[in-house]
């Protein structure tokens, strides 16, 4: 099972749990300086508890304690960090639960992807089942943005702003956003829609790379 975090949400949260499992949890922060914290929980005789923290322009190739594996236990090497591109691309391999986490920096943003067996996903602890896990359940229903409605409003806003003094000159129309996203994502799937949404809402072309890498990390 693969998780792509796509937040078509109307509200920005200071922090929110993505996944909270018996083995590990992921917490991220949405702000001008995005942050991601991953905690691998103490697991039998296999690995010690480890925390990984990343933020914009600081993508370390080690856990918070400076180590690159699961500690001193017999199965420590079943959890390790591999730096693919310094400062840009890190892969955390947790072989004892069949999980790989990919963290990248694209422009001023962090992206992450998780490949995880379905039985691990279903191990969410009963006492925590009431919490909001974005990767499992998405945004709350009353905070979701309908993409079609967003597209119409973006188009109307662009029409009204034409010729207006101070109107942005680097904004995307729906058609130009589609064309830009098709350069890397020819199929109009979830990744393509994510790319178009981000271009319309931000105008930042780095989001085309973010969507492309999310597709590649499957």
What's the pLDDT score for residue 67? Answer: 94
Q: What is the pLDDT along the chain (218 residues), one digit of tens a residue?
A: 334 444 445 444 444 545 555 554 544 433 334 788 888 888 877 888 899 999 989 999 999 999 999 888 887 889 999 999 999 999 999 998 888 989 999 888 888 888 888 777 666 554 455 444 555 555 666 666 666 676 666 666 655 555 554 444 347 888 888 999 999 999 988 888 888 888 887 788 888 888 888 888 76
What's the pLDDT score for residue 171? Answer: 74
What's the pLDDT score for residue 212? Answer: 86
* Residue 72 to residue 52: CA distance in whole angstroms: 17
Radius of gyration of the chain (CA): 19
Q: Are residues 38 and 134 in the same domain?
A: yes
Which of 86, 108, 143 is the last residue before a domain boundary? 143
Which of 124, 143, 162 is the last residue before a domain boundary? 143
List the one residue out of 215, 145, 208, 148 whose CA is nearest residue 177. Answer: 208
Instruction: Show Cβ contacts of residue 203 under 8 Å, excluding neighbours closer than 6 positions.
Output: 168, 170, 171, 172
DSSP summary character for residue 33: S
Q: Are residues 173 and 137 in the same domain?
A: no
Q: Are residues 137 and 204 in the same domain?
A: no
What range defines the domain where residue 186 resides? Answer: 147-216
What's the pLDDT score for residue 75? Answer: 78
E strand or H helix at 213, and its extent? helix 206-216
Dihedral of alpha carbons 44, 78, 36, 101, sign: negative
Q: Are residues 21 and 85 in the same domain?
A: yes
DSSP 59-124: --SS-TTS-SBS-SSTTGGGEEEEEEETTTEEEEEEGGGTEEEEEEEETTEEEEEEE--HHHHTT-
E strand or H helix at 214, and its extent? helix 206-216
pTM of this prediction exceeds 0.75: no
């Amino acid at each position: 099972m693969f998780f792509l975090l796509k937040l078509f949400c109307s509200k920005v949260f200071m922090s929110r749990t993505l996944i909270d499992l018996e083995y590990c949890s992921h917490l991220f922060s949405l702000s001008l300086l995005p942050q991601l914290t991953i905690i691998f929980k103490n697991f039998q005789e296999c690995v010690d508890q480890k925390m990984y923290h990343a933020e914009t322009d600081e993508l370390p190739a080690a856990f918070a304690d400076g180590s690159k594996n699961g500690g001193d236990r017999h199965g420590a090497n079943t959890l390790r960090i591999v730096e693919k591109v310094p400062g840009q691309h890190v892969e955390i391999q947790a072989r004892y639960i069949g999980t790989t986490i990919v963290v990248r920096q694209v422009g001023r943003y962090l992206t992450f992807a998780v490949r995880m067996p379905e039985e691990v996903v279903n191990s969410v602890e009963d006492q925590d089942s009431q919490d909001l896990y974005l990767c499992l359940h998405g945004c709350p229903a009353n905070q979701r943005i309908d993409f079609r409605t967003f597209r119409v409003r973006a188009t109307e806003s662009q029409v009204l702003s034409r010729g207006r003094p101070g109107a942005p000159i680097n904004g995307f129309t729906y058609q130009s956003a589609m064309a830009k996203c098709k350069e890397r994502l020819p199929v109009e799937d979830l990744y393509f829609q994510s790319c178009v949404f981000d271009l319309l809402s931000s105008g930042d072309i780095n989001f085309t790379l973010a969507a492309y890498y999310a597709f590649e990390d499957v």
